[in-house]
Structure 1
């Protein structure tokens, strides 16, 4: 159905610009749309695979006929002839059309075309005959030719390039079992290093299921994460220095230490990004750069270098240590104790390292030192999935592995057992644009899916609506919620999809560290102005706007006193604040009237006033975005997009509070959900797989992110190539369905499709 009644107006979808679709959709959710003929309630259906339409469950013949006859155009106030049809007044004869400035029509989704044809290939091309491998096959563990080559090449350095979905865990476990059962390698001489405890546990469980592998053999293996393996070495040789009760476990403990140092340096606790500073300190440390090695290039790094120095001094004084110290400490121990290094080089003869593309400097040097005796080092990874440079990972270690190990044998695992051909072919075309990569192309084992889909919502709101509608349709046809993942570049991009899912009946989970959008520092500060306008007696709202007004927090005590002495609210007290600066006091005297005016305008207008007239824009610029991938100005634009849906400040604040509560509730329920849609960042999705994946906002500035584009404009291509790898990782999470969203606008501005998808 293409028309509906909204109040006294008739809405014709053919005449509705795409920027109004979400508003009409919300009216349908509020039961404000009806059939112009029979009066039944309608809802606007906006999915991915077909143009929008009004959902009329049981239209009568009169309904269908009248809508077909109605004219899809906006009529001016000029008098025209009309006729009555089943109570629906329709224009008759010639009408005068008004030229309306609008965004344009709805853009239909399209499949990605041009992928090469699927070529079938046998799973197994046996070139290696081995009794044990045959026995494994009888137990359901089959290997292709490439996997066999990797599993049976035991001596010397080996680089296994394991593409997405190529079965690297199977290769690592079969290789370990093969060494123990066929080559009779003592399990105590094998070190198997993973990046997560979960991966180590999974490998042990798989090994126990293989023939000829006993629990005793598995327990003798030295396996685990880098931290767990090398921490055991530390506490064995220096137990007094590395007592568990001296470990700094939590980020809040680290922040407390550096904030104390920051006060002496003159850093504003509410303005300086201490979380980002700690990330920078960790990056330096894992790159084996210590305080005396740092050469800061700007004010941000100068501040971080100072905090790094003070943080290390505090730990030395208190004898405390953090997780980074476990690796750096073991590295220092082995470098300073040649006798210990020789002991461990004799002890360990075979090394297997998983996810080698994610290795950092200290991890690489540790493995390099220990394996230098036997040279039996097997590393497994995919340079196309190196996406963790922000925490010190460096893909150059896998790209240049041959330089340190000239005799290395390279095996490429290029058979993808996860994703359908159309998805694998699309991913290949994405990653092909990178220059710094090992030459390889993945190949799918099946083609039981449709091509990947591009869809073009107007903005973030419509993007979320279209995705939720598509999932609802698929669930109605038998899909499970856990079949779906919605991936995004940064947590801040999840606001609209979170809100749409929260309003649906679909179960979903979100990362535990994903704060509510409305609790982000910049957003919280803007909303505080609106809250104070509605609740002038609220001391928390008054306190929250002090920093944006460039006032110190101790001013709040003076304001509280003024509310009692002058019998006024917190808004009025701003005119009595004394700062000693005449220009600032003049602004504060004019502030009460401006704050009170906010409650009488629409939320979007109120935010404009806060940003420009009340100086919030200046605060965001002054605060800066040192070390932080997200810009405060981006948060403001996101908040404006959210505010457009609401007519009053009260409604908007109620919505924000509801979403903050929902975020906490969803996290609590996430612990119990086993069948739910997954909302997560692309980084967090690595190593996981889903039947259907939606990638949000595949546009310039999102992915690739603005920071990578800025670096590229300055001549540095490295961040841009990592962004392309990130897109590749997102695409290869899908097994059957892959959707890229390309909004026409993002954060209120015109958006352009990601250069990584330019082949479509």
Structure 2
């Protein structure tokens, strides 16, 4: 059905503004839309599998025939029969005219896969003897390249392990082969992983392999870089490196840099100390001491000063952080060559997992230790290097053969996770990168289910379409745990979080993410709204002080002024003396503007805060505080999208409060929930797999992110290549079905499909 009655008027989807579909969807759930034929309640279907249509709310497949309507005459008299109501352009009569919609509905597109599927024979290794036969008899199977990787144990070895290629099986089998077949002492082997979870998984698998004892497995020196090298430090200087001196919590490190910031006049509420610590960590992991740092921006100049003070305070107090574990060990080996030689003689073999994510200090440590034997097995995939912001550098994997002469290379190019349709899509995307080892993954099976690109109007409709699709699949027998919704940055998850929170479906965030409405810039705008509703809201007062360029110490003065003059905290702001006539004049005008917000629709109220209260100027002066990914101005655009459905700021505030409470509840329940839909950043999804994957916001500015496009325009292609790798990682998480969302509008602006998808459309026409 394309027609329905909405508020006593007949509407037709073909002439309704595309941007109004979401509102009609919401009002349909409230029972405000009825069938144009039978008068029963109807709802609007907004999904991926078929075009928008009205259906009887108890059954998505229940429809009536659309009524016959008069042909439009196009006369001026008929034009007068239309009225504007609640943002809709509605007919006064049953006559329905055609109109060119602002944005037309685009049907979801199934990508055509040009390369036909050819069944590979992965289990075709060479004639195996000894321990390899035992593994086969135990049910551990290998293809030819996997077996070559397992049995090549002498000299440097580079294993390029593509997505879903069974690298964990290869790493564990190689370890077992060395211990059983070659009788290598387990304590002479170092197995390095990037997470403690990965190390535990490898030990768990080793227990199930034939010929191995628990004693051998426990004797392997295995763990993360930090755990292994920290033990070395602890062994040689227990007093200095005792765990009681470790800054384990983020707040402990923040406390030090905040104290340093106060000396520089930086406000706790304004300066992004979490990002500053991230930048300090990046410098440390690239072996840049405070005196070696060359700041590139005014923000980095401040962080460099904090870095100097941070390191000085730690040294004076005899404490250290996690980054110091690696740097301390590196300095130990540099300053005491005899200890380095001792450990070079202690280990004969090194197995390094996720080598594409290695940073400078990690690389230098492995290179130093392996100088005697060169028996380094590096396992990684340059196409999945996505952690440059943490100091990871894929160039170490790309130049491995040059750095370690005589390197053998084995490419694991059989994908055992995803069907041919998804693997070919991923191959097409990543082939455009220049800085990579040339390789192409091959799938082991096909499903005849093509990846889909769908085109929601904006973020709100994107979330609704995904929710509808998931509900349909669950009704047909799927489990919530079969679904993952992946996004570039945390703010991109706001709409889908809200849609899921309003549903009965179980879901969890893959990490602790603050509520969108608690983000600094958003909280500031909402605090002006809260003050318009309650002029003595002390927390709101504290939150708006930074945007008024007032220090938090002013808060006490406001409290005193409020008591002395018997006025509200908001009114007390007009009495603040700053010594700057322009600022004092602005504060006097503030009271009436804030009060007017209570009767102003949310979208207009946000614009008032931006322009009349100077919030735009605040965002510009504050800058992005070193965060290339999440800008304050972007947060406000996101807030405008979120605010659009609400008529009053009271409704918006209540919604924000509810969503913040839901966020806290989901965090508390998250770890206890097994059968739940996963919401995750693409970065956090790496190494995981899901039956159905939805990728949000596949448009320029999101994937690839704006900062990478800016870098590309300035002559640096590396960030853009990493963004393409990020999309490759997202695509290869899918085990059965893949859905790429291309919103027509993002943050209230016209969006262009991701340039990474253009090659898919070109290749798959």
Counterpart of 1:85 in structure 2 is none
Q: How far does the alpha carbon of each residue in 1:281-334 deviate from its partner, in whole angstroms, 9 at most, with x for none?
A: 111111111112112233222111111111111111111001101111111111
Counterpart of 1:429 in structure 2 is 428
Counterpart of 1:394 in structure 2 is 393
CA distance in 2, matches of 1:22, 1:3: 16
CA distance in 2, matches of 1:698, 1:493: 11
Counterpart of 1:682 in structure 2 is 682
Counterpart of 2:329 in structure 1 is 330
User: Does the C-alpha gap of structure 1 residues 73 and 211 become closer, same or farther in structure 2, counting only changes over 3 Å?
Assistant: farther
Counterpart of 1:448 in structure 2 is 447
Counterpart of 2:315 in structure 1 is 316
User: Aligned-residue CA RMSD in angstroms?
Assistant: 2.1
Counterpart of 1:732 in structure 2 is 732
Deviation of the 1:114 alpha carbon? 4.2
Counterpart of 1:235 in structure 2 is 234
Counterpart of 1:710 in structure 2 is 710
Counterpart of 1:47 in structure 2 is 47
Counterpart of 1:472 in structure 2 is 471
**TM-score normalized by the length of structure 1:** 0.96
CA distance in 2, matches of 1:619, 1:72: 54
CA distance in 2, matches of 1:601, 1:266: 37
Deviation of the 1:549 alpha carbon? 1.2
Deviation of the 1:555 alpha carbon? 2.4
Deviation of the 1:123 alpha carbon? 2.3
CA distance in 1, matches of 2:12, 2:97: 14
Q: How far does the alpha carbon of each residue in 1:459-481 deviate from its partner, in whole angstroms, 9 at most, with x for none?
A: 00000000000000011111111
Counterpart of 1:586 in structure 2 is 585
Question: Contact 2:15 / 2:98 at 8 angstroms: preserved in 1?
Answer: no
Counterpart of 2:190 in structure 1 is 191
Q: How far does the alpha carbon of each residue in 1:203-224 deviate from its partner, in whole angstroms, 9 at most, with x for none?
A: 0010110000110110111011
CA distance in 2, matches of 1:77, 1:566: 62
Map 1:14-33 to 2 at 5 A: 14-33=14-33
Q: How far does the alpha carbon of each residue in 1:637-687 deviate from its partner, in whole angstroms, 9 at most, with x for none?
A: 000000001011111100000000000001111121100010010000000
CA distance in 1, matches of 2:382, 2:128: 31
**1:576 counterpart SS class:** coil
User: Does the C-alpha gap of structure 1 residues 329 and 62 become closer, same or farther in structure 2, counting only changes over 3 Å?
Assistant: closer
Deviation of the 1:8 alpha carbon? 1.5
Counterpart of 2:746 in structure 1 is 746
Q: How far does the alpha carbon of each residue in 1:102-130 deviate from its partner, in whole angstroms, 9 at most, with x for none?
A: 42321110011243111111121122422
Map 1:435-514 to 2 at 5 A: 435-514=434-513
Aligned length: 749
Deviation of the 1:758 alpha carbon? 0.6
CA distance in 2, matches of 1:98, 1:471: 33
CA distance in 2, matches of 1:70, 1:256: 70
Deviation of the 1:247 alpha carbon? 0.2
Counterpart of 2:555 in structure 1 is 556
**1:518 counterpart SS class:** helix
Counterpart of 1:291 in structure 2 is 290
Q: How far does the alpha carbon of each residue in 1:552-579 deviate from its partner, in whole angstroms, 9 at most, with x for none?
A: 2232223223333333222322322222
Q: How far does the alpha carbon of each residue in 1:233-272 deviate from its partner, in whole angstroms, 9 at most, with x for none?
A: 1111111110110000111111110110111122222222
Counterpart of 1:632 in structure 2 is 632
Q: How far does the alpha carbon of each residue in 1:124-148 deviate from its partner, in whole angstroms, 9 at most, with x for none?
A: 1122422322221221110000000
CA distance in 2, matches of 1:255, 1:103: 49
CA distance in 2, matches of 1:546, 1:425: 53
Structure 2 unaligned blocks of 5 or more? 82-90
CA distance in 2, matches of 1:678, 1:282: 29
User: Does the C-alpha gap of structure 1 residues 57 and 74 become closer, same or farther in structure 2, counting only changes over 3 Å?
Assistant: farther
Question: Contact 2:690 / 2:735 at 8 angstroms: preserved in 1?
Answer: yes
Map 1:75-114 to 2 at 5 A: 78=77, 97=97, 102-114=101-113
**2:34 counterpart SS class:** coil
Map 1:149-548 to 2 at 5 A: 149-548=148-547
User: Does the C-alpha gap of structure 1 residues 72 and 130 become closer, same or farther in structure 2, counting only changes over 3 Å?
Assistant: farther
Question: Contact 2:9 / 2:93 at 8 angstroms: preserved in 1?
Answer: no
Counterpart of 1:86 in structure 2 is none
Structure 1 unaligned blocks of 5 or more? 83-88
Counterpart of 2:116 in structure 1 is 117
CA distance in 1, matches of 2:365, 2:717: 29
Deviation of the 1:37 alpha carbon? 3.4
Question: Contact 2:527 / 2:540 at 8 angstroms: preserved in 1?
Answer: yes
Counterpart of 2:3 in structure 1 is 3
Deviation of the 1:193 alpha carbon? 0.5
CA distance in 1, matches of 2:554, 2:340: 59
CA distance in 1, matches of 2:394, 2:118: 31
CA distance in 1, matches of 2:718, 2:728: 15
Question: Contact 2:14 / 2:98 at 8 angstroms: preserved in 1?
Answer: no
Question: Contact 1:528 / 1:541 at 8 angstroms: preserved in 2?
Answer: yes
Q: How far does the alpha carbon of each residue in 1:26-58 deviate from its partner, in whole angstroms, 9 at most, with x for none?
A: 101222112233332211110001101112157
**2:574 counterpart SS class:** helix
User: Does the C-alpha gap of structure 1 residues 394 and 21 become closer, same or farther in structure 2, counting only changes over 3 Å?
Assistant: same
CA distance in 1, matches of 2:556, 2:477: 60
Counterpart of 1:574 in structure 2 is 573
CA distance in 1, matches of 2:576, 2:9: 51
User: Does the C-alpha gap of structure 1 residues 570 and 72 become closer, same or farther in structure 2, counting only changes over 3 Å?
Assistant: farther
**TM-score normalized by the length of structure 2:** 0.95
Question: Contact 1:634 / 1:747 at 8 angstroms: preserved in 2?
Answer: yes
Deviation of the 1:339 alpha carbon? 1.5
CA distance in 1, matches of 2:725, 2:278: 22
CA distance in 1, matches of 2:58, 2:386: 51
CA distance in 2, matches of 1:442, 1:63: 45
CA distance in 2, matches of 1:145, 1:368: 29
Question: Contact 1:17 / 1:106 at 8 angstroms: preserved in 2?
Answer: no
CA distance in 2, matches of 1:514, 1:15: 40
**2:379 counterpart SS class:** strand
Deviation of the 1:200 alpha carbon? 0.5
Question: Contact 1:71 / 1:91 at 8 angstroms: preserved in 2?
Answer: no
CA distance in 1, matches of 2:232, 2:77: 87
CA distance in 2, matches of 1:529, 1:79: 45
Deviation of the 1:599 alpha carbon? 0.9
1:659 aligns with 2:659: yes
CA distance in 1, matches of 2:588, 2:6: 45
Q: How far does the alpha carbon of each residue in 1:47-71 deviate from its partner, in whole angstroms, 9 at most, with x for none?
A: 0011011121579x99834x24246
CA distance in 2, matches of 1:696, 1:265: 41
CA distance in 1, matches of 2:399, 2:434: 14
